[in-house]
Amino acid sequence: MSTDRSDQVEPASGPRPTGSSDASGAPARRPNESDERAAERRALAERLGRIRHKAMVLSGKGGVGKSTVAVNLAVALARAGRRVGLLDVDLHGPSVPRMLGLEGRGVEVRGGAIVPVTAGGLKVLSVGFLLPERDAPVIWRGPMKMNVIRQFLADVEWGDLDWLVIDSPPGTGDEPLSVCQLVDGADGAVLVTTPQEVALADVRKSVNFCRQLGLPVLGVLENMSGFACPHCGRTTPLFGAGGGERMADEMGVPLLGRIPIDPQMVEACDAGTPYIERFPASAAAKAFERAVAPLLALDAAGDAQAATENAAVTGAAAQAAPTESMTSKEQPIMRIAIPLADGKLAVHFGHCREFALVDVDPHTGIVQGTATAEPPPHAPGVLPKWLAEQGAQIIIAGGMGRRAQDLFAQEGIATVVGAPAKTPGDLVADYVAGTLEAGTNLCDH
């Protein structure tokens, strides 16, 4: 790793330098920029140009389970069929290797590039892989941290990825600031909190941090949201209730959901196994799956935009299926499909005669429009492809078999199963608010 301490943090805002650009779109040379620094910046732009989406996982304070959330969000995206990288820039407390069972692993350098460690389909990089021993402290000043983070982004062979999830340290200091400045065009941040006010106060600072840097807030995820007793089933709000939702409303940002306390999560982390893979049927695992649905919607919105632009170029824009509201990357519309029976959710999605297609702004939770559509005759594999053609990114269902869920994932559609028989309006409102209670999957075969 480079140890040049002369590096200075670039301004977070201000006019961009002008001048000629290279193939990556980055200016070939900035005023007073050395050849070495210009080459590093071009390498960074080239690496990041192969990654479709970048999301930072931030928290205003420590101890809220940020790294646990980052790991399980990354795994949830991978389980949905995405190519995912996980970058751990919590330089002083790198816990990702332990959570993924990768302690003791080192990195390879191939062709002058660092090769990430692979685990269950994820590409992972952490400073923990570079330490001589697990308990060795990292004692670096700000410029050194900036250099290491730059190298983690520019000198790593991430390859082609759909998502890079970046686990940042708590607070609004050097590391998250460095990543925000280096990752140009990041999709946004997922902010992790717990329900009590002492944590929420710091997350408000994180919201303002993102706004000052021009980084969109993808949403707030309330962790440790109540403890469900494994014996009686009663939920006890150990750290209060509803704090994350109230804070999200006050700050005007989406609530991605609530993750309940589960002792099995501690067990999975200590064992080095991703929680949602070890306990996929648990309430917390389902909550993680719902939390990534808006992120998957960004994928679908980007695909819709590309398809629309391509259709315009070829003169076939009139045949493009996505609606106009789905063509903005900054404000994507999330289309939710709901199988209906007598105006409410059908218990078995494959037997329904019509689907409700509800367009929702994931940032505000406001419904933009609702339509119904009659599906083609039911046959294996037909509905996932048909709903993908309708622009659906999420399906809320009562019962759905595992094979069907896998087929939907292949089409880029996230699934929520075990939902109650409510009207589409109530289901969407509960989903957006993070209060949709998924029960038993009546068709899990």
Question: CA–CA distance from 275 to each of 101, 105, 365 (Å)?
Answer: 12, 21, 28
For residue 356, what pLDDT is reported?
Answer: 92
Output the tens digit of pLDDT for each of the chain's 445 residues: 443 433 433 333 333 333 444 544 555 555 666 777 777 778 888 888 899 999 999 987 777 888 999 999 999 999 888 999 999 987 776 788 889 988 888 888 888 888 999 887 899 998 878 775 665 655 555 567 777 788 888 888 999 999 999 998 887 777 788 788 888 788 999 999 888 777 777 888 888 888 888 889 998 998 887 776 667 656 677 766 667 778 888 888 888 888 888 888 888 888 888 898 888 888 888 888 888 888 888 766 555 444 444 444 444 433 333 333 333 334 467 889 999 988 899 877 767 889 999 988 766 667 888 888 998 887 777 888 899 889 888 888 887 877 787 788 777 788 888 888 888 888 888 777 667 776 666 555 4
For residue 310, what pLDDT is reported?
Answer: 45
For residue 140, what pLDDT is reported?
Answer: 55
Model pTM greater than 0.75?
no
Question: CA–CA distance from 328 to each of 77, 240, 333 (Å)?
Answer: 21, 37, 8
Q: CA nearest 76: which of 308, 200, 259?
A: 259
**Domains along the sequence of the chain with CATH:** 35-280 (3.40.50.300), 298-433 (3.30.420.130)
* Rounded CA separation 347/354 (Å): 13
Cα angle 360, 366, 367 (rounded to 5 degrees) comes to: 50
Structure tokens at 352: 């329904």
